[in-house]
Structure 1
Amino acid sequence: MSEHILPGRRSESTDPRALRTRKALVDAVLTLLNDHDATDLNVSQIVKEAGVSRQVFYQHFEDRDALILVAAADWVLDAYERFAERFSIDQNFEASVAELATVVAGKTEAAVRLIDSPVHTVLDEEVHRVMLPTMREQLLPRSQEWGVTDSQLVDDMARVYVAGMQRLIEQCVREGCTPEEIGRRAEAVRRVLIRE
């Protein structure tokens, strides 16, 4: 997993016990999100599910939301980083988006609960941080074809594109779409926006 700019104590630790504990806490949150809204989770539930003490919890995380954010990042940001690494706006976009969407396949309830959680805004900011450089790089040649030479405009187009696609994916997850359906819908929008 890549390093994300997210809260967490002992995040630098390479101690195997600390890593196991952190994983147990993250896994506990992801499991609990299948049946509970993020705002309904409490530290007692989490530590019970993880099999650790409250003291150990607070050695690793400042509060519940910090853990929920780290769990969400562990779950989805790595998928976005892989997506960004191989992303090409002109090649296999539909398949790439479908592959990205498989990260939530079978975990729709938990995904929707994260979308509705207090940490969603910060998670979205992290998705944008991961995707913006790639999107800008991909839009630059197209913008030159369109006669757009203003770098601020290219940056703004990248921001709108990333935010819009993220909202489309979130809406599709809410609707229970399959990864393939999400890919098809994203591709249809891409074709219009990229003028194909």
Structure 2
Amino acid sequence: MYHGTNPSALRSRACITEALLTLLKKEKYTDITIKNICREADLSRQTFYQIFESKDEVIKYLFSDLFSEFEEQCNYFLDMTLSKLCCSFFEFFQEHENFISILIDNNMAYLLEQEFEHYLPKIELFKKINDTEAYPDYSVCYMAGALSQILIHWYKNGMNIPVEVIGNMTENMASGKIFTLTTREEDSDNV
């Protein structure tokens, strides 16, 4: 993937990503070829391959760009709590509904969880967990899975729950307020 600052290459990268997003609104990801992307972007295949190695790399770039924006938004708040993180998360991805819908429609939602695992540790709240937990990667993995699956379910249900409600529900699940376990002895003592 191209990492330079050449203005022409940056414009080409933007044209390629926009072309892929445009095509994804009409076609399945598996049916889209590099040739299709280049035709839509009005660029040569040579230019495409100077910027990206594959269409998968274009998707990863789009994710990287999106999650960098989310990370930046979260780190803007010095006192980010789990509650703020959950609400910000759903608010942010509601604003990017089109991209997430495209991923879900193309059976690529698994990429959400992968990217969450990669980016959550960069958010200040999770950096604090890294300092206190013996195995912080498991905490991050848990939150990545939970957030991505709740997000997918929310999208599939037409985002039928307001952001504040789904954010608070997610916080309550993550903090153990919804699911509490009792032993059989504790349960029989209550009888």
TM-score, reference length from structure 2 = 0.74
1:92 is paired with a residue of what secondary structure?
helix
- Equivalenced residues, count: 174
Equivalents in 1 of 2:102, 2:175: separation in Å? 33
Indicate the structure whose relative CO is greater, using CA pairs within 8 Å and at least 6 residues apart.
Answer: 1
1:92 matched to 2:73? The reply is no
2:162 is paired with a residue of what secondary structure?
helix
1:80 matched to 2:70? The reply is yes
Q: Rg: which structure is higher?
A: 2
Residue 42 of structure 1: aligned partner = 33
The offset of 1:130, in angstroms, is 1.3
1:158 matched to 2:140? The reply is yes
1:151 is paired with a residue of what secondary structure?
coil
The offset of 1:98, in angstroms, is 3.2
Residue 97 of structure 2: aligned partner = 105
Q: For residues 138-184 of structure 1, give each alpha carbon's deviation from its aligned partner in whole angstroms, at most 9, with x where no partner exists.
A: 5579xxxxxxx7622x5423321222112211222233216x63552
Of the three residues 17, 25, 31, the one matched with 1:26 is 17
The offset of 1:195, in angstroms, is 4.2
TM-score, reference length from structure 1 = 0.72
Residue 188 of structure 2: aligned partner = none
The offset of 1:21, in angstroms, is 0.5
The offset of 1:186, in angstroms, is 3.4
Decide whether aligned partners of structure 1 residues 54 and 174 sit closer, same or farther in structure 2, where only a CA change above 3 A counts. Answer: same
Residue identity opposite 1:169 in structure 2: L
Equivalents in 2 of 1:107, 1:158: separation in Å? 23
Equivalents in 1 of 2:27, 2:90: separation in Å? 27
Decide whether aligned partners of structure 1 residues 138 and 182 sit closer, same or farther in structure 2, where only a CA change above 3 A counts. Answer: farther
**Overall identity of the aligned pairs, in %:** 20
1:187 matched to 2:171? The reply is no
Query: Which residues of structure 2 form unaligned runs of 5+?
Result: 178-191
